[in-house]
Structure 1
Amino acid sequence: MTGVVGFGGSIHDFATWLITSDNGSIAIEDERLSRVRHALLDPDPCRASLAYCLDAAGLQVGDVRAFSANDMLTPLRTWQPEIPIQWVNHHLSHAASTFFTSPFETAVVLVADGAGSIIGAGSADRHERETTTWMLGHGNELTRLGQVVGAKRGPASSNDLDALMSNSLGDFYRAVTEGIGFGFMHAGKVMALASYGDGRFTDTLMEAVALLPDGRFTITLDGPHGVVDRIRRLRGDGGPGAFATDACIAHAGQQILERVLLHVLAHAWSVTGCPNLCLAGGVALNCAFNGKIIKNTGFEQVHVVCAPGDDGTALGAAILASLELDPPASTVRFPISPYQGREYGPAQIDEQVLRRTAELLDQGKVVGWYQGRSEFGPRALGNRSILADPRRVDLAKRINARIKHREWFRPLAPVVLADHAEEYFEADCPSPWMQFAWPIRAEHQATLAGVCHVDGTARVQTLRPQEQPSLARLLMEFAALGAPPVLLNTSLNIRGEPIAETPDEAMAVFRRSEIDAIVINGTLLER
């Protein structure tokens, strides 16, 4: 057996994806092995994840036909010539990861992130990078339709985390995130907090943004009239009412992000008339926006890859290398699953264990759920999860405060049997990878109070039994007790740590938290 390897990341979220010659794959993010969140500024990225993938597949370096990486992975250049790497444009690797895993023959592909590949030579004190790119994918080809470029202080080789990229939606959202006191890579907190605010500051921040013809835009982040300074002046010295102020700034950030994205998508749809859309880049993790696309644009179907962030460029790089090695005679797609880690135990769970677990959940217990291969990407999708009754607000509060140790305003997500998704949620497309937030139908908001955000929405995972047989059976057992076919589903980890990869790490979460029970590879442990 042979394989093709893709490496992903930038200055964070490093990963390796291996596609094997028998049409299988195995992949892992560096953080799951180093146990450092996002593997930020790791000086030797992808080495451990490459070893993990090769070992799990029973391959050696010599069995790999091609190595490919997005061109922001500069530390990997020291691996050559021992490991020859094909370099791919950053946004192209993002685009490939989502287009070639979609079911579409033709689709508009939008990539939006903090910054991608270098544009031009740059200088010692300034350089430019791609920030937003839209393409048309058809068959096995991706053609760029338009692009926005931003500038950042310092040379292209700089990893200055304090410098922001102009005209960047990712860095705009980062400016909001850090401006209201959250740390780097904590954009999800802003998305949650935004629903507690109103639009009083939207126009003020929007003055730093200009919507231009042909889907283009500018965003001024630095300087006396930039977003950073505007947020600083809006916050003042904090004090009473600081939460309301920060919530309204977060709300403005979310509204402006959506306004700019809709501007880009309106143009892309107008020039293509294509009903299909694929999303990638870190901005595509904004499930609140993703859930509004079909209702607010001409697009009728939306696909978001399971790992739209920089880790997912490993998948895109591997796909592009595979297509170059063996050019297909017809359209080819890679219908991947997010469950890409190695096996640590049996995949099936005994009916008695399922039944007892459902009883515990119905009794208000919080249950850890560890089975099969780990998920690739930021979401726990039923193999490394914490589960609870979605009807109980008290359980959601307990999980946030005493198990996950995170902010009270952050919502927890539901997993629902796909056949019942439209019954409980205003769902307009499949969401197997928890990439869309939709309103909970009014008649079910009280029933699903534990997963209902303050704005009445939830980030939904739709589950088909063939994708996750054991979890689907657990949902059925839970429903048989008179509950909805829905469970609260959050990641099996503690604040500040990556999701558990091994059984030992799952047990560590169980021991260190107030989880009431845990199922590990079919074995149920109760306190």
Structure 2
Amino acid sequence: MRRGRDDNWELSMITNQAFLGIGGSGHDFSAALVSKGNLQIAIEEERIDRSKHGSRIWHSHPCNLALNYCLSATNIRLEDVASIYIPQDHVRRESQILGRQVIRIGHHLAHAAASFYPSPFQEAAVLVIDGHGGHIETSSKDTNNLETISIGSASGSSIALNTLQSGIKTVTSTTWHHVVSNSLGSFYKAVSDLIGFGFFGVGKLMGLAAYGDNSLLSEMRKWVDIDVAGKFYFDPYSGFSDWVQHTLRCSRNSAQIRANIAAAVQKIFEETVLRLAKHCQQVTGAKYLSYGGGCALNTVANRRILDETKFKSLYIFPAPGDAGLAVGAAYFGYYIETGAYRFPSELQTLGTQAYCGRKYGEDEMKQALDKYPVLYHRATDTVNTVTKRLLEGEIIGIFRERSEIGPRALGNRSIITLPDSSIRRRFINMRVKNRETFRPFAPVVIFEAMSKFFELEDESPFMLLVAKVRPEWRASLGAITHADETARVQTVRRESNPFLYDLLVTVENHTGIPVLLNTSFNRRNEPIVESPEDALSCFLNQELDTLLLGKYIVEKHTPWACPSEQIVP
């Protein structure tokens, strides 16, 4: 039956409406707005309140800063939002936000939505793996039964998702109250905590694993079980914690034993993800995979999915963890309520999806500059100016355009430098980032040259794949080559980030290598910078040589020392 003119007008009005998603689950709160089938804006609460991961009691602070940020940047009033969607989990119990009724959807469903709706696929298999999601409805009255692994399929604007595995959260001590049984994510987090990195230190654990061997793998396997479909069985209260702590004590907490523990848990993690991905492909018969949940940040496992399964391509949203729940919830609400046709994303502009924050005007940057003790001038050619300084060996902070969502800086809130020297890597770890020296740095490379320098055939616009650095280039790329001769690669097309692409090409004209070291613009234990004020404060308190703030080249007074608390966040 054909739609009449009035029906088309009504459909147009509905699809133009904005849908608000609120994300997070006791940590990593966020907000996002979707309209016309596109993500208009998204922000993590931590970027605004400057509290890493933003852990707090939900009831005391319902994501107001992120919510208001999104509404203000888009000039939309809360009363004009069509609907508000939030993922269901163990924290949220409210039915309203700021007087508006909310609609709750499954935690894993929100992850699935974030991994499929922005993807370039018309249809795909869907896999979600994390620490835990929302409650599983069962015949028993056990309210602590939580989803840990889900699989399904998606086509057009529809997603069908089923829980493959669940686990029990048992609160028995302050040490283990975050750990859920039968959870791959909780298993990984638990080991991270036990070897001294904390529950949010899983990225450090993955980096340390490259320095370890398999000497503890057989012992580690005794504490878990993985079936042929990838179902993961783990009892955190079976003595596992005691075994890890005993192993550390016997070695006097040696760095090598910690690395060997990391290597063992990483190996088990990869094996589990690989079995799950293969099972997902067998069940669905799909050619493509949309993968979400915090476990999708493990770039080594991600690469193995591409190399060792029948999937032709893999899509992971740049914020696959709980910060991305807001995006998934908003997308889900939009497509469910409007019934709009979904157009898969174009590969050429896929990289733009990460840049979700608001733009700051030049007047805002100028006002911020005048508050801080810096020297600055407006550059007429930022690409050549920055290139010249990079060639002189400078380490440069970059603040421009819209901020990225997710834990990776992708060129708009970055620290960049030449990738040539392992000495440079050590200096940045120790003096700029103030972090452990074993941690690797990522390269950014132009899309056309990725296969020349790295063993990589698939795009990696969000820095979510590792690749071997080709042997002939390892000496020239010492700052970004990890202990296992790999790198966590970001590829960039000009359509996604013209400035970054042109900068890489200009650097290539001088060095023959269109690669730069790219790390997040933040201080230790702080979120990535969001505002001009954040960028200037971070710049003045780090050993950076130059800051590019929009079109302004910013330098420090020499000599300079922090004169007041004004510039200390």
The normalised TM-score by structure 1 is: 0.94
Could you tell me which residue of structure 2 aligns to residue 415 of structure 1?
444
1:14–1:38 contact (8 Å) kept in structure 2: yes
In the other structure, the counterpart of 1:11 is 26
Q: Which residue of 2 aligns with 1:320?
A: 332
| Matched ranges for 1:191-206 at <5 A | 191-206=206-221
Q: Distance in 2 between matches of 1:124 and 1:518?
A: 56
**Kept in 2: contact 1:416–1:462 (CA 8 A):** yes
Residue 45 of structure 1: how far off its partner (Å): 3.2
Residue 308 (1) aligns with residue 323 (2): no
Contact 1:101–1:305 (8 Å) recurs in 2:
yes
Q: CA separation of 1:48/1:494 partners in 2, compared to 1, >3 Å: closer, same or farther?
A: same
Per-residue deviation, residues 305-327 of structure 1 (Å, max 9, x unmatched): 11000011101100110012210
Letter of the structure 2 residue corresponding to residue 373 of structure 1 = R
Structure 2: distance between partners of 1:274 and 1:383: 35
Matched, 1:448 2:477: yes
CA distance in 1, matches of 2:37, 2:152: 30
Q: Say yes or no: does 1:464 pair with 2:506.
A: no
| 1:236 aligned counterpart, secondary structure | helix
Counterpart Cα distance in 1 of 2:475 and 2:391: 17
Deviates more, 1:279-288 or 1:391-400: 391-400
Do 2:274 and 2:301's aligned partners in 1 also have CA atoms closer than 8 Å? no
Q: 1:490, 1:49 → 2: CA distance? A: 24
Question: Deviations 1:380-436 (Å, cap 9, x if unpaired)?
Answer: 000000000001222211111011100000001010001111111111311111111
The one-letter code sitting in structure 1 at the alignment partner of 2:455 is E
1:486/1:523 CA distance change after superposition, 3 Å:
same
Q: CA deviation at 1:2?
A: 4.1
Mean CA deviation greater in 133-142 or 170-179:
133-142
Alignment map for 1:105-184 (pairs within 5 Å): 105-120=122-137, 127-144=144-161, 147-154=164-171, 162-184=177-199
In 2, distance between residues paired with 1:297 and 1:166?
A: 27
How far the C-alpha of 1:494 sits from its partner, in A, is: 0.5
Answer with 1 or 2: which has the greater Rg: 2
Separation of aligned partners in 2, 1:162 and 1:88: 25
CA distance in 2, matches of 1:276, 1:521: 38
Q: Of residues 212, 221, 231 in structure 2, which corresponds to 1:216? A: 231
User: Which segments of 5 or more consecutive residues in structure 2 lack a partner in the other structure?
Assistant: 1-15, 364-377, 557-569
Q: Kindly tell me: are residues 194 and 213 of structure 1, through their superposed partners in 2, closer, same or farther at Cα, counting changes over 3 Å?
A: closer
Task: Determine the C-alpha separation between the residues in 1 that align with 2:548 and 2:23.
Answer: 32
1: CA distance between counterparts of 2:284 and 2:178?
36
Tell whether the 8 Å contact from 1:8 to 1:73 is kept in structure 2 after alignment: no
CA distance in 2 between partners of 1:339 and 1:128 (Å)? 36
Code of the residue aligned with 2:177 in structure 1: it is: D
Note if 1:99 corresponds to 2:112. no
Matched, 1:230 2:243: yes
Distance 2:37 2:110 in 1: 23
Query: What CA distance in whole angstroms lies between the structure 2 residues aligned with 1:37 and 1:161?
Result: 21
Q: Secondary structure at the match of 1:119?
A: coil
State the Cα distance separating 1:120 from its structure 2 match.
3.5
Question: Contact 1:439/1:456 (CA < 8 Å) preserved in 2?
Answer: yes
Name the residue aligned to 1:339.
355
Alpha-carbon displacement from aligned partner over 1:150-183 (angstroms, at most 9, x marks no partner): 111149xx99963410110110001110111111
Paired AA for residue 432 in structure 2 = I
Q: Secondary structure at the match of 1:153?
A: coil
Q: Which of 47, 59, 63 pairs up with 1:32?
A: 47
1:129 is matched by which residue type in structure 2?
A: L
Give the equivalent residue in structure 1 for 2:297. 285
Aligned letter for 1:79? Q
1:52 aligns with 2:65: no
1:526 corresponds in structure 2 to: 555
1:261 to 273, 293, 298: 273
Letter of the 2:96 partner, please give it.
Answer: W
User: Tell me, what secondary structure is at the counterpart of 2:334?
Assistant: helix
SS in 2 for 1:379: coil
Contact 2:147–2:163, Cα closer than 8 Å, also in 1: no
Q: Name the CA distance, whole Å, in 2 between partners of 1:344 and 1:161.
A: 42
The 1:122–1:355 alpha-carbon spacing in structure 2 relative to 1, beyond 3 Å, is farther
SS where residue 295 of structure 1 aligns?
helix
Contact 1:346–1:371, Cα closer than 8 Å, also in 2:
no
Partner secondary structure for residue 517 of structure 2 = strand
Identity of aligned residues (%): 36
SS at match of 2:405: coil
**Change beyond 3 A, Cα 1:510–1:72:** same
Q: Which moved more, 1:291-300 or 1:210-219?
A: 210-219
Q: 1:355 and 1:504, CA in 2 relative to 1: closer, same or farther beyond 3 A?
A: same
Change (3 A) 1:407 1:371: same
Given candidates 181, 185, 190, the residue that maps to 2:200 is: 185
Which structure 1 residue ranges, 5 or more long, are not aligned? none
Q: Distance in 2 between matches of 1:184 and 1:22?
A: 35
1:128 to 1:159, Cα distance in 2 relative to 1, 3 A: farther
**Do the aligned partners of 2:32 and 2:330 also contact (CA within 8 Å) in 1?**
yes
Q: How far off its partner does 1:59 sit?
A: 1.2
Question: What is the CA distance between 1:351 and its match in structure 2?
Answer: 5.7
Q: Deviations over 1:95-122 (max 9, x none)?
A: 0101111111221111000000111369
Who is 1:383 aligned against? 412
* Contact kept? 1:346, 1:372, Cα under 8 Å: no
Partners of 1:90 and 1:250 in 2: CA distance: 28
Deviation larger for 423-432 or 493-502: 423-432
Kept in 1, the 8 Å contact 2:413–2:520? The answer is yes
Match among 307, 310, 313 for residue 295 of structure 1 = 307
In 2, the alpha carbon distance for the partners of 1:320 and 1:127 equals: 26
Q: Which residue of 1 aligns with 2:373?
A: none
Q: Whole-Å Cα distance in 1 between the matches of residues 139 and 444 of structure 2?
A: 47
Computed over aligned residues only, the root mean square deviation of the Cα atoms, in angstroms, reads 2.3
Q: Does 1:243 align with 2:290?
A: no
Superposed CA deviations along residues 71-99 of structure 1, whole A, max 9, x for unmatched, are 12744716358111110000000001011
1:356-395 Cα deviation digits (max 9, x unpaired)? 2111111211001110011111110000000000012222
Structure 1 residue 228 displacement after superposition: 2.1
Q: Deviations over 1:17-75 (max 9, x none)?
A: 01245946011100011100000124313111001110111111111001000012744
CA-to-aligned-CA distance 1:328-377 (integer Å, 9 cap, x gap)? 2x444466611111111369x96633212111111211001110011111
Contact 1:222–1:229, Cα closer than 8 Å, also in 2 = no
Task: Please say if residues 353 and 522 of structure 1, whose CA atoms lie closer than 8 Å, have aligned partners that are also in contact.
Answer: yes
Distance in 2 (CA, whole Å) between partners of 1:275 and 1:300 is: 6
